[in-house]
Structure 1
Amino acid sequence: MPTFLVTMDFSVLYLAVPRLTADLAASGIQQLWIVDIYGLMIAGFLVTMGTIGDRIGRRKLLFIGAATFGIASVAAAFSTSPEMLIASRALLGVAGAAVTPSVLALITGMFTDPQQSRRALAVYLACFMGGATLGPLVGGVLLEYFWWGSVFLVSVPGIALLLAFGRFLLPEQKAPQVGKLDPVSVVLSLAAILPFVYGLKELARNGWEWFPAGALAFGFAVGLVFVQRQRRLEHPLLDLRMFGNRTFSSALTLMFVTAVVGAGTLLLVTQYLQNVAGLTPLAAGLLLLVPNVLMIIGNLATPPVANHIRPAYLITCGLIVAGVGYLVFTLADSTSGPMTIFIAMCVVMLGTAPLAALCNLLAMGAVPPDKAGSGASIVQTAAEFGIGFGIATLATLGTAVYRRNVEDGLGTARPDAADAARESIDRAVAVAGQLPAEQSGDLLAAARDAFTSGMHVVGIVSAVIYVGLAVLAARAFRHVRNSRGDDDTTTDADPLPEAESATPATQSHERSSI
């Protein structure tokens, strides 16, 4: 329930932005912060909250986060100014960062049997995907009958149920021996992640500008200082030894890169459906609902299949299937309509489902029980970073190809219309509506052809990346057995090996434990 509500809050606001902007008289900058501050605070506080959960108890942190989430939701719903709404959304983000790693850590501790653990994590992922998928639809229904604040109140009943019954249903879990929380590490973590994520978002949205580039560089520099401090501490905020574990680091890499590819291509797909295929935002959202549902079905179907087939085979085959789906992007053209991209996204989502269902299990199984909260926060932070990198890289690649190719088709277009078309396909479609029919048709044809070319390039690049990931998965998880074998899939769950001690003895110990 809390996973569903927190992820739904990412997208439930989108359709309400025009109404709340008019009601609160929010400026353009304030509108952007209202939308972005939630995800920014979640990304910034995940590492800190995961470690706090290991220390004070994951159920306790879940309840604190959930109660704060409910209070902040009410405050957001009845905000009387943009500043109040931004502050409420920021508090929602901090609370969400407390909730999400606590849920994943609790699930990992509650289900130790491999088959049960697979099923539990599949349900968790279904709730995660379900919240993100249904957010816009729930928001649209509420806005049809109520004021914009209702999109925040929808989570309050679920939070109340969690607080009322959770203490009877959920066990408390925390690390048996923990040191004191290092405040300097907390500050360094926030000073590294928040500017870094902000810089990524702004560069992806507006292109090269000195301030977000400086924020990105500052966050990276502070991150290096943070890492050096963690190496020296006896009880670090982030135990870097986890990255020396082969299974954990490989699973993390797979999740990060698939988030990069997924976020970058999804942005281009939504633009294609609206600006090239001519669908309304609602129609595009409903069309993309089907691939998301297929991924949820794939997540839930993976655990029983994994009882008979090794994770390496399942994940590798799924990634190859998803790579074929990305190649289908190249079959779409500017006049083919939405069906080709719809089929491609269905194939991609089905192919990615085994990785999504099993990599969480593999990563969390490689983390010692006393580090479960910290491990869960790293897994989810990697996904947040992957989304930012995807928009900043693959989506930017598609835009670059578009800008290069659109020049060839502008011809005798008016200078102001040509300049708008060079910026983005969104601007091209907007300015085309102000031109005479013949000029409008020529401009739209040029912009749509150029954008489709960009999608083709991104589809090919994504397919190549997925083939590389398939090779990585086949090698990294080749010794992990299915749950009906002699061992379970929670490999490398012994005491963590040191990152620098990949000696033959260590490797032999890993093989014997597997």
Structure 2
Amino acid sequence: MTERTPPRATAREWLGLAVLTLPTLLIAINTTVLVLAIPEVTADLGASSAQQLWITDIYAFLIAGFLITMGRLGDRIGRRRLLLLGAVAFILASVLAAFSTTPEALIATRALMGVAGATLMPSTLSLLRVMFPDPRQRTTAIAVWMTSISAGTALGPLLSGVLLQRFWWGSTLLAGVPVLVLLLLVGPFLLPEYRDRRAGPLDLRSVALSLAALLSVTYGFKHAAEHGPTVTAATAVLVGLSVGVVFVRRQRTLPEPLLDLRMFGDPAFSFALVLVTLVLVVFGGGQFLFSLYLQHVAGLSPLWAGVWMVPSAAALLVGSLLCPLVVRWVRPAFVVSAGLVVGTAGFALLTQVSGSVSGVTSGPFVLAQVGLAIAFFGLAPPSVLGADLVVGAAPPEKAGSASATEETAAELGIALGIATLGSVAAAVYRVRMADVTGDGIPPEVAAPVRDSIDGAVSVADRLDPAVLEAARAAFTDGFALAGGISAVAMALLAVAGMVVLRQPRLGTGHETGAGSSDDDAPAGRR
């Protein structure tokens, strides 16, 4: 039997890709856009320290918690329909959040933004699976999709800083409204509809279990990143994992599971999820620690720290765009492993960063910039090809669930990276500062200095300059050790990638269209 050649995308699909980058760009921007506005929010609404944390975290929590549910819902009711409904919900929630008058109202509306955001991400990636059946074109499309996420991550702090200089804090939440309005205007004409016509109803018990498991695990990781490895963090993670076991067992017994576990029977699919998770672990942890390094060691303002995070984000962007060009000539296994080797080299450079920073042209600062830029450039190919493997390995009717699973792994990877690498850096800091703050410093000042670099900077005006320099050097040592751990992890993953991904094709045969039926055809594209 002759294998059918996948149809190639036309100009309409490429224009549709440009439309799909809008919500992904927006989601990435909104993850960080409110961080710089928190002082103004606190002054205006009177938010407590606990409320500040919920204002910034609840958005990401609920995106992670609802991704699997929304991915399955998109397979059932239609991915374009879910994307457009989510855009409307996001606009309404953004407006309500921007004009909140109490901390509780802002937390609630940020939560609604998170639920709406969870409808956008799996819909965009799963639609790419339908719009670009040709594997090479799909790799290029996913690279562009990943680039929009990288751009949004870099633009968040910059956009926030510019808006806060001219407007009130709520303007940072309204920045995405014009983007989504454009999506609503052109999306129905450029995006296809696709759904699994044989999908059954959602199992609400599975929805509740998945939400409880993901929220608990994500909360535990976040709590560990902010407060260290506490009993609360460990309990939250263990509870989440326990609920996750119950969720998995239930999926095995359902005729229409929320998450089809049969997808994990494909070694390429399973390894791709591990690959994406671990790459995002070192990415999330590295970006988090670097932002602290820029503000607390280099002494930059939040806005200028955002500016100096652009080079590493630009390196990730360039690597993402080059990946589909390279994979035309080189087997994906080699591209993934080569990227991980480059990432290893970049993180290895971070181990050589030491001492304080006298300016943006000083040796340690330049070395940190170059090391992280090289690392992020290397992480781009495994990120792109990992997402491509997940989407390509799943049959078209399950692309929504597969996309949601990949994005859930990415969200958990970032949270885990911030928690683990942040905890490593914090532990090194506390060991280094235990003796430095032992004598000649009032207890009320010594306690925050010993606890974290944030604490040391907060009481800098009451410290001997030598103690503050010691605190900065201690944090830098922790940053360097985290870089070393990331380098080892990427080196091991590079070897594993060569073993598991030795087949030259990215997919498992689904991209040929074999086995499809009229029931699976995209609605409106017969």
Q: Same fold (TM over 0.5)?
A: yes
Aligned length: 484
What letter matches 1:461 in structure 2? I
* 1:337 positional shift: 4.0
Structure 1 window deviating more from structure 2 (78-87 vs 413-422): it is 413-422
- Whether 2:373 is the aligned partner of 1:346: answer yes
Q: How many angstroms apart in 2 are the aligned matches of 1:28 and 1:418? A: 21
Deviation by residue 1:97-124 (Cα, 9 ceiling, x = unmatched): 0111000000111101122111111111
- Whether 2:390 is the aligned partner of 1:366: answer no
* 1:296 positional shift: 0.7
Query: In the alignment, which residue of structure 1 is the partner of 2:508?
Result: 491
Structure 1 window deviating more from structure 2 (232-241 vs 353-362): it is 353-362
Q: Superposition RMSD on alpha carbons, in Å?
A: 1.7
Deviation by residue 1:223-262 (Cα, 9 ceiling, x = unmatched): 1111110011111000111112111111110110111111
Deviation by residue 1:395-441 (Cα, 9 ceiling, x = unmatched): 10111122112234446341424332220122123323213xxxx12
| Preserved contact between residue 74 and residue 152 of structure 1 (Cα < 8 Å) | yes
Q: How many angstroms apart in 2 are the aligned matches of 1:103 and 1:243? A: 22
What letter matches 1:407 in structure 2? A
Structure 2 counterpart of 1:267, from 283, 288, 294: 288
* 1:70 positional shift: 0.7
| Preserved contact between residue 291 and residue 345 of structure 1 (Cα < 8 Å) | yes
Where in structure 2 are the equivalents of 1:210-289 lying within 5 Å?
Answer: 210-289=231-310
Query: In the alignment, which residue of structure 1 is the partner of 2:76?
Result: 55
Query: In the alignment, which residue of structure 2 is the partner of 1:72?
Result: 93
- Whether 2:480 is the aligned partner of 1:480: answer no
Where in structure 2 are the equivalents of 1:85-484 lying within 5 Å?
Answer: 85-335=106-356, 336-410=363-437, 412-416=439-443, 417-435=445-463, 440-481=464-505
Query: In the alignment, which residue of structure 2 is the partner of 1:504?
Result: none
Structure 1 window deviating more from structure 2 (271-280 vs 188-197): it is 271-280
| Preserved contact between residue 413 and residue 443 of structure 1 (Cα < 8 Å) | no
| Preserved contact between residue 392 and residue 511 of structure 2 (Cα < 8 Å) | no
| Preserved contact between residue 50 and residue 373 of structure 1 (Cα < 8 Å) | yes
Q: How many angstroms apart in 1 are the aligned matches of 2:477 and 2:174? A: 43
Deviation by residue 1:128-175 (Cα, 9 ceiling, x = unmatched): 111121011111111111121111221111211111221111110011
Structure 1 window deviating more from structure 2 (365-374 vs 17-26): it is 17-26
* 1:88 positional shift: 0.9
Q: How many angstroms apart in 2 are the aligned matches of 1:261 and 1:390? A: 6
> What is the TM-score normalised by the length of structure 2?
0.89
| Preserved contact between residue 15 and residue 140 of structure 1 (Cα < 8 Å) | yes
Identity across the alignment (%): 47
Distance 1:332 1:22, change over 3 A: same
* 1:63 positional shift: 0.9
Query: In the alignment, which residue of structure 1 is the partner of 2:359?
Result: none
| Preserved contact between residue 61 and residue 98 of structure 1 (Cα < 8 Å) | yes
| Preserved contact between residue 480 and residue 491 of structure 1 (Cα < 8 Å) | no
Q: How many angstroms apart in 1 are the aligned matches of 2:27 and 2:82? A: 15
Q: How many angstroms apart in 1 are the aligned matches of 2:232 and 2:379? A: 36
| Preserved contact between residue 410 and residue 446 of structure 1 (Cα < 8 Å) | no
Where in structure 2 are the equivalents of 1:1-16 lying within 5 Å?
Answer: 1-16=22-37
| Preserved contact between residue 315 and residue 374 of structure 2 (Cα < 8 Å) | no
> What is the TM-score normalised by the length of structure 1?
0.91
Structure 1 window deviating more from structure 2 (106-115 vs 416-425): it is 416-425
Q: Secondary structure at the match of 2:193?
A: coil
* 1:209 positional shift: 4.1
* 1:297 positional shift: 1.5
Q: How many angstroms apart in 2 are the aligned matches of 1:41 and 1:388? A: 13
| Preserved contact between residue 147 and residue 317 of structure 2 (Cα < 8 Å) | yes
